[in-house]
Amino acid sequence: MRAHNLALVLDTVATSADPPSRASVAAATGLTRATVSALVDDLIAGGLLTELDPPPRTGAGRPAAGLALTSAGPAGLGCEINVDYLAACVVDLTGTVRQHLVEHADQRPAAAAAALAALGRLAARARLAAEADGLVMAGAALAVPGLVSAGTVLDAPNLGWRDVDASALLRGVPELADLPVVVDNEANLAALGELRVPGAEQTFLYVSGEIGIGAGLVIDGELYRGVRGWSGEIGHVTIYPDGRPCRCGATGCLEQYAGQEALAAGEPRAAAALGIALSAAVNLLDVPVVVLGGAYATYFDRLRDGIEAELRRRVLTAGLAPVTLRAARLGTNAAVRGAADAVVREVRDDPAAWLRRVG
């Protein structure tokens, strides 16, 4: 009950338009003022809430101090490895990005251990800078372009990884050894990142265009992961059955026509191929919105018309309700942002667990 009420109070403060007083938190939650005050004191002591200076007295009585999420409390460390870059970022409890580091380099020649050690060093730099700023790392999340199960990367064909214990390798960097690390597919984390942007739709297909192409499906504000967590492999939807061989062993996969390498090489069929795959997804799933992220956010203007032409032609319901196509609001940073957000979200959803850790 206390755990539930702590989360309720924290969420009420987080979603208030203006910093609320303890009295207005009590009114909004239906809890007594005494209960709210005790919970707020615990949340302040645990570094989750802060009391803002009261405004100057303008009438009788003591003006109430407003409550807000702290910008100096627990934070999430997001890490991302992709085929051609490493990234790390730190997001605080309010959702603000406090550190963001990117290193561009082809990761394919490196072994998984070396690549993850390099990412660990980058993440450690972000962590140390954030801690110098008063933040406390609650955990880390790692975004990888591949199939993940229980912290292990089962298969990341574009990196050439198989059965890589990515969590352990990342934590091999001494500065990260104390942090819990969760590993997830990059498109899934990116979709969650986009979902957290204020004003985001609650149901959409997020498509991440990198060297590989992945998708994250958000339905009613929840990520649909599939039975084994392997949903969203849109990069391996067949576009031309007898087409180019793909690294996965099949032929004619979307990745071969609309992956970042094909885009950079000016592949004329890129937009059409993407439009065909998205039409398949919309026909199967009935999602009204498609969000293009990763490199697609950069190439959006170039791709848009070609994709929309295919959607109009190939989505059975396009005449009843056109599909909305837009670029990711987080641009190419959605996955690493989503990773850090996922850590923060866990603290926000279960502040009692955080208080036990620091108490």
Q: Closest distance between a copy of itself and the C-beta of residue 106, in Å?
A: 23
Residue numbers at the binding site for a copy of itself (CB under 8 A): 147, 154-155, 157, 203, 215, 217, 219, 224-234, 236-241, 248-250, 253, 272, 276-277, 279-281, 283-288, 313-317, 319-321
Q: Report the candidate in 294, 290, 269, 270 with the shortest Cα–Cα distance to residue 281.
A: 290
Decide whether 26 or 234 has the Cβ nearer to a copy of itself: 234
Q: Closest distance between a copy of itself and the C-beta of residue 287, in Å?
A: 6
- Contact in structure between 243 and 252 (CB atoms under 8 Å): yes
Decide whether 264 or 285 has the Cβ nearer to a copy of itself: 285
Decide whether 313 or 356 has the Cβ nearer to a copy of itself: 313
At residue 202, the 3 state secondary structure works out as coil
Decide whether 114 or 285 has the Cβ nearer to a copy of itself: 285
CA dihedral 78, 81, 87, 88 (to 10 degrees): 30
Q: In 10 A of CB 242, how many CB atoms?
A: 7
Decide whether 18 or 242 has the Cβ nearer to a copy of itself: 242
List of E strands, 70-115: 74-82, 85-92, 97-104
Q: In 10 A of CB 266, how many CB atoms?
A: 7
CA count, 13 A, side-chain hemisphere, 211: 19
Q: Closest distance between a copy of itself and the C-beta of residue 325, in Å?
A: 16
Q: Closest distance between a copy of itself and the C-beta of residue 35, in Å?
A: 29
Decide whether 75 or 282 has the Cβ nearer to a copy of itself: 282
Q: Closest distance between a copy of itself and the C-beta of residue 132, in Å?
A: 42
Parallel, antiparallel or unpaired: strands 136-144 and 181-185 = parallel
At residue 235, the 3 state secondary structure works out as helix
Q: Closest distance between a copy of itself and the C-beta of residue 1, in Å?
A: 23
- Contact in structure between 114 and 86 (CB atoms under 8 Å): no
Q: Report the candidate in 329, 337, 331, 332 with the shortest Cα–Cα distance to residue 77.
A: 337
- Contact in structure between 340 and 78 (CB atoms under 8 Å): yes
Structure tokens at 340: 């850090």
Q: Closest distance between a copy of itself and the C-beta of residue 141, in Å?
A: 20
Helix (H) or strand (E) holding 272: helix 270-285
Decide whether 139 or 216 has the Cβ nearer to a copy of itself: 216
